[in-house]
Structure 1
């Protein structure tokens, strides 16, 4: 009875965190559209997010539907199945689409935004982010080459195709580690979070907490805590997101509360300033 209740709670947490994380992708492009400008935010965040969530989508698909990968996983984890859920796959696919929409707002002529917002600092993908993307491709390629060359017969002790999937999923971890930093630094440089939506951060925070709780419940139900280490991406995504969400909350509500920042020229149009409070809608 208790196990059935926990399974229901786990499923509920899963879809609620997917809803929260999915909704968190809407406030920023909506804020950009309402202000008719991307000033105050950077293209690095959504650009590298596309790459990271594409890797997450591929790994979730493999763990859910690939007989080879599921067999390799069982060989390494006492015959158990991966703790990846369908809601993880749905979330990853949705994230890729919304990040593409957000990136498109930085492309001249697509949305007709203010030129300053589309050509200023942060309007182009930085060389650091491009280097991380290229390096990730090389890393996955090297792991795949090792697996193909070695042909180890035992996936439990040798190299197997699940290692390629893990390498792809680790790309998402790397992306999550670095993707927030450009925006954190932009807020610090501007001494303001204006133009950066706090609503997406609050939703992201709730989603991160529920994601970790679901992973813990699933591992408890399997009576094997290797379900957590066997799904390192989900664990890392939740913890890293929570860490950076707290940084953004401190910036928005404590350090730079009510400050407009230096990146906005006097008289720049911002429709959200008219009748909006200094909270989730304005940032």
Structure 2
């Protein structure tokens, strides 16, 4: 819901000033990975079979249709917000070099995982698990650029406040100094005229905040006043510890991918050497064939020359026989004269 409210707010303001583009880029990458994860695990029977084989026959597929709908609508909302950045006023805001580098690393990691899955180095379940690690890394890092921008601007305008970090900035750090609802003021007036930064005190007899509800202020931003916030923070801390464990597993998976890439590199080098050896062998065979043809041509020439010499020898023998016969006749003639 906060994504579409942000779209409406941008449309009303005709401006995206205050929306950090690093936050938006990481959001698009994260929800793209999350959408692929949910869609494949919900619709692809091969991936489901891999999941059941890995986790046991009694395990259930952890993705429901509402997960698929949420991921796809969140990705669509992020894309629409990105298109608004090209249409509405954005001032001097740009994607930072750090944001580009981090986004490039996440995209490279995702595409390398896809390539490994296409070449059957990884199965598709491992591929979507790596996409989930990418989403976790995005979730860990995407709020920091927006928080820094809010700190520099001392304002949370253009942020729909459903995230605890931005709620803290809006209601504790950068509250506007104009008039507020009486529920936000302390019991004793501040001589400086500034609004008290502490929420209304909790009634210990009722265990609730006075006037507890959800309402919209003059900036069209939603405030959440709820005593269960402490429990939410504790739950968030537990989820943070779980995320740290998953992130450590992600780092181990990255190490496995690096080892797999090194193995692929070694196999590629061996195949390249084999190919070079085969090419050298073929070249040698071709040279030997050429030499054999040259030798055959030389033998053929020698045979022709030998035949010519045999013919000349026969002619010489015939001439010699004629000369011998002539000498014999000459001798007979001389004997008759004597």
TM range (shorter): 0.5 to 0.7
Q: Secondary structure at the match of 2:48?
A: helix
Mapped partners of 2:83, 2:128: distance in 1: 29
Tell me which residue corresponds to 2:68. Answer: 89
Equivalent positions of 1:47-66 (< 5 A) are 47-66=25-44
Equivalent positions of 1:223-262 (< 5 A) are 245-258=163-176
Establish whether residue 136 from structure 1 lines up as the match of residue 106 from structure 2: yes
Mapped partners of 1:168, 1:60: distance in 2: 10
- Paired residues, number: 185
* Structure exhibiting the larger radius of gyration computed from Cα positions: 2
Tell me which residue corresponds to 2:221. Answer: 280
Q: 1:145 to 1:101 in 2, by over 3 A?
A: closer
Tell me which residue corresponds to 1:174. Answer: 137
Runs of at least 5 residues in structure 1 that lack an aligned partner in the other structure: 1-22, 152-158, 202-244, 261-275
Tell me which residue corresponds to 2:95. Answer: 125
Equivalent positions of 1:135-174 (< 5 A) are 135-146=105-116, 160-174=123-137
Summarize deviations over 1:133-191 as a string: whole Å, max 9, x none: 2212322344445556676xxxxxxx532111111122211111111111100111122
Question: Conserved in 1, the CA contact under 8 Å of 2:18 and 2:149?
Answer: yes
Mapped partners of 2:64, 2:95: distance in 1: 32
Mapped partners of 2:115, 2:222: distance in 1: 48
Q: 1:77 to 1:259 in 2, by over 3 A?
A: farther
**Shift, 1:56, TM fit:** 0.9
Q: 1:258 to 1:278 in 2, by over 3 A?
A: farther
**Shift, 1:53, TM fit:** 0.9
Q: Secondary structure at the match of 1:119?
A: coil
Establish whether residue 28 from structure 1 lines up as the match of residue 9 from structure 2: no
Tell me which residue corresponds to 2:159. Answer: 196
Match among 144, 147, 170 for residue 184 of structure 1: 147
**Shift, 1:94, TM fit:** 0.8
Question: Conserved in 1, the CA contact under 8 Å of 2:3 and 2:160?
Answer: no
Q: Report runs of 4+ in structure 1 exceeding 3 Å deviation.
A: 141-151
Q: 1:57 to 1:148 in 2, by over 3 A?
A: closer
**Shift, 1:130, TM fit:** 2.1
Mapped partners of 2:82, 2:36: distance in 1: 21
Mapped partners of 2:85, 2:110: distance in 1: 29
Question: Conserved in 2, the CA contact under 8 Å of 1:147 and 1:161?
Answer: yes
Q: Which structure carries more relative contact order (alpha carbon 8 Å, separation 6+)?
A: 1
Mapped partners of 2:35, 2:63: distance in 1: 11
Establish whether residue 76 from structure 1 lines up as the match of residue 54 from structure 2: yes
Q: 1:194 to 1:148 in 2, by over 3 A?
A: closer
**Shift, 1:50, TM fit:** 1.6
Establish whether residue 100 from structure 1 lines up as the match of residue 79 from structure 2: yes
Q: 1:189 to 1:85 in 2, by over 3 A?
A: same
Q: Secondary structure at the match of 1:124?
A: coil
Runs of at least 5 residues in structure 2 that lack an aligned partner in the other structure: 179-216, 224-338
CA-atom RMSD, angstroms? Answer: 2.5
Summarize deviations over 1:76-105 as a string: whole Å, max 9, x none: 111223211111111111111111111112
Alignment TM-score, normalising by the size of structure 2? 0.50
Q: Secondary structure at the match of 1:277?
A: coil
Q: 1:36 to 1:142 in 2, by over 3 A?
A: closer
Tell me which residue corresponds to 1:239. Answer: none
Q: 1:248 to 1:143 in 2, by over 3 A?
A: same
Alignment TM-score, normalising by the size of structure 1? 0.59
